[in-house]
C-alpha cells in the first residue's frame, strides 16, 4: 500500500552539498516545469504567483479555463461558511500553487494560509478528464517528516483538543463528507502551532506531507447513532486513515467533529443528543459575537471571527465525540500525495519549488508545559469521624509563557492571554461542593475557573487526583482595522502540591 503514496510525477530534490545527510526518502515536489541551468542542476524557484482574490479563472495555458472555487458557476464540495473566506485583508496569503499559464499541472491545487488564525488550507481540483474510482468519501492527512518532525509542535493543534507539551504529534487525518466528483473543487485545512525554532531547521530535516485518498466508509457510529453515511468532517487523534486498505476503529473511542459553521452542525445533528447539538449551535451562533469579546465556554479548541464578510458565521471548532467507523481505502486510487517544504525552514541549497510565504506558520505556542498549583487542606468535622478535604487549583503563571509568532508583530496586536484551570474526570460521588463553572464539552462535563476547588467527606484525609489542563484564549487584532480573531487552546498541565 505504501507505493500508492508515491506518484511518478514527483521530481527528486538535490540535497545541499554539506556533511549533513539527506533523509532516506528524498523530498519530491509535484512540478515538472522546473528551471534548469546548462549543467542540468536544479535549484529553488517560486511557484507561479497570482492574484487569487480578484481572479475569475485559475492561471492555465490558452484554451483551458477553470473557475476559481468561489466564482459563480464553479462546482464545489466545500462547506458554505468557508467558501467565501479567502480575503487578503482577513489574513490570507498564497503559499503554494501548481497552476501556471505555461503548463498543465499533474495535480491541480493551490494553498492559502491565514496568518491571523494559523490555518493552512488546500484548494484541490479534480479535472473533468480525470480517471478515478467513484467513492463515497475523501480522507486526507497533513503530517511532518524528517528527523526534526518529532521535535516540532507544529501539528499539535491539528491533532488533538488537549495538547500535551511533552508529546509532539506528527500528523492529523480527517475524514470528509464529500464524494469524489469530476470538475469539482474541494478545500482541506489544518490549524498549525507556532514553532519558534523553525528558522534554524533545514528543509532536509522537516517537510510536510499531504496525501488525499478516496475511501468507502461502510458504517460510522457517533455517540451511539449508527449510519452508513458520513455527515460532517471527522478526525480521530492518533489514527491515520490514509495508510490502511481497510480500517475498523471500534476501539478508538474519542474523536473530534470538526465544525466550520452552522451548516456543519446541522449535518451531524441526527447523530448528536439534543443537549450536545444545542451546545454546538450556541457556540456557532452566539459566541461569534460574544466569543470574540467575552469568555469562551463549552469547548477546548476553537477559532472565532476574523472574517470581514457581512455573514460573520465563521468558526473552526473541534468537538469531542465518541466515534467508531468501519470501511476501506480504494487500493488502486490516489487523489494526490504532495510533499512540500515547510514554510519558515532554512531552504539554503534547496532545489525545486519553495513556498511563496516563507515565514514560520502558526500564531502561538507555549514555552513549557503549564503547571497548576494544588493546595490541599483537610479538616476533621464536628462528628469526630469525618474529614472534609478541600483542593484548590490555581494557574502557576511563572511555569510557562505564551510565545507569539514574531513574524506577525508588524501586522497585529495580541490581546493579553486569559488562562484558566480546567478539571477533567470529576468523581461522580463524594463531592460536597465545587467552586467553578460547569461546562459541557461534547458529552463530557468539565469545571473551569481561575480558582476551582472541590471538597469531599471521608473517614480519613484523602486527596483525589484529576486530569488538569489550562485553557488559554486571546485576541488577534489586525493593526489595519480588520476584524479580530479569538483563538482558544487547552494544554495538559502538571499538578504541583504547594
Which DSSP symbol is given to 52? T
As beta bridge partners, residue 366 has: 402
| HSE of 477, CA atoms in CB hemisphere, 13 A | 10
Mean pLDDT of 209-228: 70
Q: How far apart are CA 315 and CA 453, in angstroms?
A: 31
268 has a pLDDT exceeding 70:
yes
How many residues would you count in the chain? 498
Provide mean pLDDT across the span 284-291.
57
Annotate 19-56 with b (16+ C-beta within 10 A) or e (fewer).
eeebeeeebbbbbeeeeeeeeeebebeebbebebeeee
Centroid of chain to Cα 31: 26
**Coil, helix or strand for 338?**
strand
Beta-strand ranges (E) seen in 28-170 are 28-29, 44-45, 76-77, 92-97, 108-114, 119-126, 137-145, 162-163
pLDDT of residue 50: 96
In the structure, what pLDDT confidence band is assigned to residue 399 with cuts at 50, 70 and 90? Answer: very high
Instruction: State pLDDT tens for residues 331-382.
Output: 435 566 678 999 999 998 888 889 999 999 999 999 999 999 999 989 888 8
Residue 138 DSSP SS3:
strand
CA torsion, points 120, 210, 251, 178, in degrees to nearest 10?
A: 80
H helices of 24-131, where? 80-83
Task: Check: CB of residue 147 under 8 Å from CB of residue 23.
Answer: yes
- Percentage of the chain surpassing pLDDT 70? 79
Measured between alpha carbons, how far is residue 373 from residues 339, 416, 423, 435 in Å?
43, 21, 13, 16
Per-residue pLDDT band at 427 (split at 50, 70, 90):
confident
CA pair distance 341, 356, nearest whole angstrom: 11
* pLDDT computed for residue 415 by the predictor: 95
Separation of alpha carbons 281 and 261, rounded Å: 9
Res 443 pLDDT > 50? yes
Which of 85-89, 166-170, 381-385 is predicted with the least confidence, judged by mean pLDDT? 381-385
C-alpha cell recorded at residue 305 = 471571527
Q: What angle do CA 96, 482, 71 make, to 5 degrees?
A: 50
Give the residue, 442 or 22, on which the prediction is more confident: 442
Residue 406 CA to residue 413 CA, distance in Å, equals: 11
CATH 2.60.40 fits 367-497, yes or no: yes
Confidence of residue 1 (pLDDT cuts 50, 70, 90): very low
Ranked by mean pLDDT, which of 243-252, 347-356, 428-437 comes out on top?
347-356
Residue 211 has pLDDT above 50, yes or no: yes
Backbone angles phi, psi at 90, to 5 degrees: -90, 5
Q: What would the grid cell of residue 391 be?
A: 483542593
Phi, psi of 288 (to 5 degrees): -60, -40
Residue 2 reports pLDDT greater than 80: no
Question: Which grid cell is 473?
Answer: 484564549
Q: What is the predicted pLDDT for the residue at 220? A: 65
Asked if 154 and 362 touch (Cβ cutoff 8 Å), the reply is yes
What confidence score (pLDDT) does residue 230 get? 64
Report the alpha-carbon angle 489-451-372, nearest 5. 60
| pLDDT at 247 (0 to 100) | 60
pLDDT tier at 128 (50, 70, 90 boundaries)? Answer: confident
Cell digits of residue 68: 476559481
Residue 446 DSSP SS3:
strand
**Mean pLDDT of the chain, nearest integer:** 81
Other Cβ atoms within 10 Å of 64 Cβ, number: 13
Choice among 134-148, 162-176, 238-252 with the minimum mean pLDDT: 238-252
Beta-bridge partner residues of 419: 472
* Beta bridge partners of residue 315, listed in sequence order: 304
* Radius of gyration over every alpha carbon of the chain, rounded to an integer in angstroms: 24
More confident residue, 86 or 314: 86
Burial label for 481, CB within 10 Å (0-12, 13-18, 19+), is: exposed
CB-neighbour burial class of residue 384 (10 A; exposed 0-12, middle 13-18, buried 19+): exposed
With bands split at pLDDT 50, 70 and 90, how would you rate the model's confidence at 200? very high
Note the pLDDT of residue 431.
Answer: 80
Which three cell numbers, joined as nine digits, stand for 324? Answer: 467508531
- Cβ neighbours, 10 Å, residue 479: 11
Residue 310's pLDDT band (cuts 50, 70, 90): low
Confidence of residue 168 (pLDDT cuts 50, 70, 90): very high
User: In the chain, where are the structural domains located?
Assistant: 2-362, 367-497
Amino acid at each position: 500500500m505504501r507505493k500508492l503514496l508515491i506518484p511518478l510525477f514527483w521530481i527528486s530534490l538535490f540535497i545541499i552539498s554539506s556533511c549533513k545527510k539527506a533523509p532516506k526518502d528524498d523530498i519530491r515536489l509535484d512540478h515538472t516545469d522546473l528551471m534548469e541551468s546548462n549543467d542540468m542542476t536544479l535549484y529553488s524557484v517560486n511557484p507561479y504567483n497570482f492574484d487569487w482574490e480578484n481572479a475569475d479563472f485559475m492561471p492555465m495555458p490558452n484554451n483551458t479555463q477553470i473557475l476559481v472555487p468561489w466564482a459563480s458557476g464553479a462546482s464545489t464540495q466545500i462547506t458554505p461558511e468557508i467558501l467565501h473566506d479567502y480575503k487578503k485583508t482577513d489574513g490570507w496569503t498564497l503559499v503554494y500553487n501548481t497552476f501556471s499559464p505555461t503548463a498543465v499541472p499533474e495535480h491541480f491545487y493551490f494553498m492559502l494560509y491565514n496568518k491571523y488564525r494559523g490555518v493552512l488550507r488546500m484548494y484541490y481540483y479534480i479535472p473533468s478528464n480525470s480517471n478515478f474510482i467513484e467513492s463515497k468519501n475523501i480522507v486526507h492527512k497533513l503530517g511532518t517528516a524528517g528527523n526534526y518532525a518529532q521535535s516540532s509542535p507544529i501539528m499539535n493543534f491539528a491533532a488533538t483538543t488537549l495538547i500535551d507539551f511533552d508529546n509532539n504529534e506528527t500528523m492529523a487525518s480527517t475524514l470528509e463528507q464529500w464524494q469524489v466528483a469530476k470538475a469539482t473543487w474541494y478545500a482541506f485545512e489544518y490549524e498549525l502551532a507556532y514553532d519558534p525554532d523553525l528558522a534554524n531547521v533545514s528543509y532536509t530535516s522537516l517537510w510536510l506531507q499531504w496525501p488525499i485518498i478516496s475511501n468507502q466508509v461502510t458504517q460510522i457510529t457517533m455517540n451511539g447513532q449508527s449510519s452508513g453515511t458520513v455527515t460532517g468532517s471527522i478526525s480521530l487523534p492518533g489514527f491515520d486513515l490514509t495508510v490502511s486498505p481497510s480500517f475498523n476503529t471500534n476501539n478508538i473511542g474519542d474523536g473530534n467533529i470538526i465544525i466550520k459553521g452552522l451548516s456543519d452542525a446541522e449535518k451531524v445533528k441526527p447523530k448528536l443528543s439534543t443537549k450536545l447539538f444545542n451546545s454546538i449551535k450556541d457556540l456557532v451562533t452566539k459566541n461569534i459575537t460574544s466569543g470574540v469579546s467575552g469568555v469562551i465556554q463549552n469547548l477546548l479548541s476553537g477559532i472565532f471571527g476574523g472574517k470581514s464578510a457581512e455573514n460573520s458565521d465563521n468558526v473552526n471548532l473541534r468537538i469531542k465525540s465518541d466515534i467508531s467507523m468501519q470501511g476501506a481505502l480504494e487500493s488502486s486510487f490516489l487523489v494526490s500525495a504532495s510533499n512540500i517544504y515547510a514554510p519558515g525552514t532554512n531552504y539554503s541549497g534547496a532545489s525545486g519549488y519553495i513556498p511563496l510565504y516563507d515565514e514560520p506558520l502558526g500564531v502561538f505556542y507555549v514555552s513549557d508545559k503549564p503547571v497548576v498549583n494544588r493546595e490541599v487542606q483537610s479538616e476533621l468535622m464536628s462528628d469526630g469521624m469525618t474529614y472534609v478535604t478541600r483542593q484548590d487549583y490555581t494557574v502557576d503563571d511563572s511555569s510557562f509563557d505564551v510565545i507569539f509568532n514574531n513574524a506577525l508583530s508588524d501586522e497585529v496586536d495580541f490581546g493579553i492571554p486569559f488562562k484558566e484551570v480546567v478539571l477533567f474526570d470529576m468523581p461522580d460521588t463524594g463531592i460536597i461542593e465545587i467552586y467553578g463553572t460547569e461546562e459541557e464539552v461534547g458529552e463530557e462535563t468539565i469545571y473551569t475557573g481561575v480558582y476551582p476547588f472541590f471538597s469531599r467527606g471521608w473517614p480519613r484525609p484523602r486527596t483525589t487526583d484529576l486530569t488538569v489542563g489550562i485553557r488559554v484564549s486571546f485576541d488577534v487584532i489586525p493593526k489595519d482595522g480588520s476584524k479580530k480573531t479569538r483563538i482558544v487552546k487547552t494544554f495538559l498541565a502538571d499538578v504541583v502540591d504547594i
